[in-house]
Structure 1
Amino acid sequence: MNTKQVQRRITTTTVALAVLGAALTAGFLASASSSRSAGTARDAIINHFQQAANRTVTVQQATGQRREFTIEVHKIHAEIAPGVKVEQWAFGFPGQPPTVPGPPLVVTQGDHVVIHFKNTHDQPHTLHLHGIDRLSQEMDGLNEVLPGQETTYEFVATEAGTFGYHCHFQTYLHADMGMYGAIIVEPKEASARVWKNEHAMILDEWDSRQNPGAAVHKSEPNYFLVNGKSFPLIPDITIPDGQTDLIRVADFGEEVHSLHMHGNSFLIIARNGFPLPQPVQEDTLLIAPGERVDILVKGRDGAFPFHDHIVKDVTNNGIYPGGIHVMLKGSPAVSAYGLPLTNTGDAHSHAMTDMQVDPNADVTASTTREVDEAYPDDSPAHSHVYDHLPKNSPIKVVNIKNFAFDQKELHVKVGTKVAWVNRDAVGHSVTGGTPGGNPKSRAFDSSNEAKGTPVMIGQGKDWTYTFTKKGTYLYYCLPHTNMTAKVIVD
């Protein structure tokens, strides 16, 4: 290597080191600047928190209108899932049907809110204003209101957002019985309302076997609710294509829920009454008991589920589908090639195969009970062998469709075989007797519950039973007890 080559290499190395040094310096300075910016922002937030007023806001400081509500509490019986009726303790306005959740109390930021609470029930109760801050200690639902008595709660709605009210006397039992509702504080400035319509999803769990009169309250939820109902009783949420709506999600139960939105995403703009400085876009929302989350959803074509990803929470008494499952609907669905879909099926049956169904299970309970696997799972239901029986066939067919047995009263002779064919997208059973009976005393039961975990008749499957004795045989569907019918054997 000659002298010029050595000098050239030294020069190149020097330049490279200089460039690297400049880059490292720039990176260090940028990192330091970023750290300083983050530190400054963090310090500003902490400083704002420390400097913010935190004393009781008196009603004289209200800048809005005076909003008055009168709330009562009554014992009711309500259907939370198909055929499942339970006792509830429900809030309501005078002269209007009480409901679970209770009626929403809608006010505007700055309003003076007055709630007259009349205890028209036979138990002591209180009202706790969940999430409302800077209210007077005496208004926090500390003292119980005895049956026949009444009291008044007052506060100033200082912050916009989603809040709640619930009974705070023996909370574990009283909230479990349905004593909760939403307080919605709308923003004072119209410009802050960037959505068209609002929807509420109030989550809860329910134990259909709970006894409010028991000395010790034990809750093992077997139904999971949105606005007091379990799928398929939960109404759809419709958001037109391109329209932005607000969904207020509140967990007023006692379990964590993980809500996933199929085919779309949402923007989280507030948590627990506090707007997020930087909204976050997600497709799954984890929400804990007592939390409230406000999300923006932009409508699109098609219909997609917004449901819980905790598996047991999308069942009714252990039978899938059910539970926390809401359908979001927009404009008519479009195919992957941009063409209108002429047959989208039932949006409610989206990806819903029955988790309890085992196509290989032997559910034969005696020589008179049979399971027919007439065609594979992917064959169309209309090709079933029972669709084309002659009129004088010794086999009688009962179709199960639209959550009903299509023959409410079937007359047959001794020795007749009856086939029940499930045309629904969800599992059903053919269970002898009436709801609540002893599984071991049933004349027949396709689910074989007496042997353990019940097994449902899946979509397109059938179950047969041969009647060998005269009599009237009542039967129903185990997970959907409103489905009832009878067979009369002559």
Structure 2
Amino acid sequence: MGSIRMGMTKLIAPNLTFLPHRLVHGVKLFQLVAEPVEQTLVSGVIVRAWGYNGSTPGPVMVVHPGERVQVVFVNRLPTATSIHWHGLIVPNEVDGVPEIGAGPVIRPGETYVYEFVVRQAGTFMYHAHTMDAKQEMMGLAGMIVSLPRVLSTHREYVILLQEWAVQTDSGMDMAGMQMGGHTLSMTQATGDASMSEHTTYGEPGTKGRRFDINPMSMDFNYFTLNGKAYPDTASLRVRRGERVRIRMGNISMDSHPMHLHGHEFQVVAADGSDLMFPWSKNTINVAPGETWDIEFDANNPGVWAFHCHKPHHTTNAHQPGMGGMFTTVTYV
């Protein structure tokens, strides 16, 4: 679990890391590498995905309003890609949508430097925007947090919601995909030779099985918070008396009504903008492409559920037992 401290506030990325940076002549310099990754969604289930810097989601980027940022982007994928800075106001030439000319396409083996000045404070995302229907669902996404210099919370969590079509059934993942009455191989269905492998068992000395993802499927069977499904999701630990913020983004196809037990929270920001009039809820629907910030007072000790309220989204492969997009808020 990655964490950094900003004054009295601890910023935490459960099951993820923060992207390191260095200052070069006053410019905040990051490096992002798009590459194939093998990631354990939950114990025993390893997927062949695409991600940034070795994981999906990629590491969390932390910036501040007014900073000039350079992101050195390296493409180690077998196909062209780009990065879109979702919700950030950036120059058109680095918006990351090459199909309309808003930024270049970065081909396999190429490096490109994105540069812009951060103009906003809030919760944002970054994700692929070349063949995005495929690449986002392969895992090419991450979170950006632009922080004001002074924070009023004690603890803040950053969480990206994702869903996966993991090919665990013999009909779909082993022989090919049924489309319009015809059987297609994984390579034909995705248009990419890197997807031609089928499900195999774990390599000697490892635990779990490796599965392919069908990024064009609408049949999702795994649902994750920061790339993990329950019970492998990290608990959100709090102390009594703290003011806690949870920053959520949704890069999946479905909406996710996130529900917190035992507390009433205030909805304080949407899509990176603070709300003039926060309102109180215990469930907030996070639609695709949205970010929401909620805050609550840690005033009711215990272990409390925090989860998507779509019942199928709290299972793993639609099997009995708790799983999926579920974690706990735990007082320590």
Q: Verify same fold: TM over 0.5.
A: yes
Does structure 2 conserve the Cα–Cα contact (< 8 Å) formed by 1:67 and 1:114? yes
- Give 1:13-162 correspondences, 5 Å limit: 65-92=26-53, 98-133=54-89, 135-141=90-96, 142=98, 143-162=104-123
Deviation at 1:295, TM superposition (A): 1.1
| Corresponding residue number in structure 1 for 2:221 | 222
User: RMSD value over aligned CA atoms?
Assistant: 1.6
Does structure 1 conserve the Cα–Cα contact (< 8 Å) formed by 2:165 and 2:217? no
| Corresponding residue number in structure 1 for 2:314 | 314
Aligned residues: 259
Deviation at 1:288, TM superposition (A): 0.3
Cα offsets for 1:267-306 (capped at 9, x unmatched): 1111001100011111001110010011112223101101
Does structure 2 conserve the Cα–Cα contact (< 8 Å) formed by 1:239 and 1:298? no
Deviation at 1:214, TM superposition (A): 3.9
Deviation at 1:330, TM superposition (A): 1.1
Greater relative contact order: 1 or 2 (C-alpha under 8 angstroms, separation 6 or more)? 2
| Corresponding residue number in structure 1 for 2:155 | 197
Q: Secondary structure at the match of 1:228?
A: coil
Aligned partner of 1:208 among 162, 166, 175: 166
Q: Aligned partners of 1:312, 1:110: CA distance in 2, in Å?
A: 42
Largest Rg, 1 or 2: 1
Q: Aligned partners of 2:290, 2:188: CA distance in 1, in Å?
A: 29
Q: Aligned partners of 1:302, 1:213: CA distance in 2, in Å?
A: 49
Q: Aligned partners of 2:30, 2:128: CA distance in 1, in Å?
A: 16
Deviation at 1:100, TM superposition (A): 0.9
Deviation at 1:109, TM superposition (A): 1.2
Q: Aligned partners of 2:91, 2:302: CA distance in 1, in Å?
A: 48
Cα offsets for 1:329-379 (capped at 9, x unmatched): 114xxxxxxxxxxxxxxxxxxxxxxxxxxxxxxxxxxxxxxxxxxxxxxxx
Provide the TM-score with structure 2 as the length reference: 0.75
One-letter amino acid of the counterpart of residue 325, structure 2: I
- Give 1:429-444 correspondences, 5 Å limit: none
Task: Name the one with the larger strand percent.
Answer: 2
Q: Aligned partners of 2:262, 2:230: CA distance in 1, in Å?
A: 20
Q: Aligned partners of 1:214, 1:229: CA distance in 2, in Å?
A: 29
Identity of counterpart residues, as a percentage? Answer: 30
Deviation at 1:162, TM superposition (A): 0.6
- Give 1:406-417 correspondences, 5 Å limit: none
Does structure 2 conserve the Cα–Cα contact (< 8 Å) formed by 1:110 and 1:158? yes
- Give 1:341-356 correspondences, 5 Å limit: none
Q: Aligned partners of 2:26, 2:250: CA distance in 1, in Å?
A: 29
| Corresponding residue number in structure 2 for 1:281 | 280
- Give 1:224-239 correspondences, 5 Å limit: 224-239=223-238
- Give 1:290-301 correspondences, 5 Å limit: 290-299=289-298, 300-301=300-301
Q: Secondary structure at the match of 2:152?
A: coil
Q: Aligned partners of 2:286, 2:301: CA distance in 1, in Å?
A: 27
One-letter amino acid of the counterpart of residue 260, structure 1: H
Gaps of 5+ in 2: 1-24, 99-103, 168-172, 177-185, 191-215
Deviation at 1:66, TM superposition (A): 2.0
Gaps of 5+ in 1: 1-63, 93-97, 332-490
One-letter amino acid of the counterpart of residue 111, structure 2: E
Where does structure 1 differ by over 2 angstroms across 4 or more consecutive aligned residues? Answer: 210-219
Q: Aligned partners of 1:280, 1:206: CA distance in 2, in Å?
A: 32
Cα offsets for 1:289-325 (capped at 9, x unmatched): 0100111122231011011111110111112311111
One-letter amino acid of the counterpart of residue 230, structure 1: A
| Corresponding residue number in structure 2 for 1:408 | none
| Corresponding residue number in structure 2 for 1:426 | none
Q: Aligned partners of 1:286, 1:257: CA distance in 2, in Å?
A: 6
Q: Aligned partners of 2:229, 2:316: CA distance in 1, in Å?
A: 7
Provide the TM-score with structure 1 as the length reference: 0.51
Structure 1 residues 185 and 65 mapped into 2: Cα distance closer, same or farther (>3 Å)?
Answer: farther
Does structure 2 conserve the Cα–Cα contact (< 8 Å) formed by 1:303 and 1:329? yes
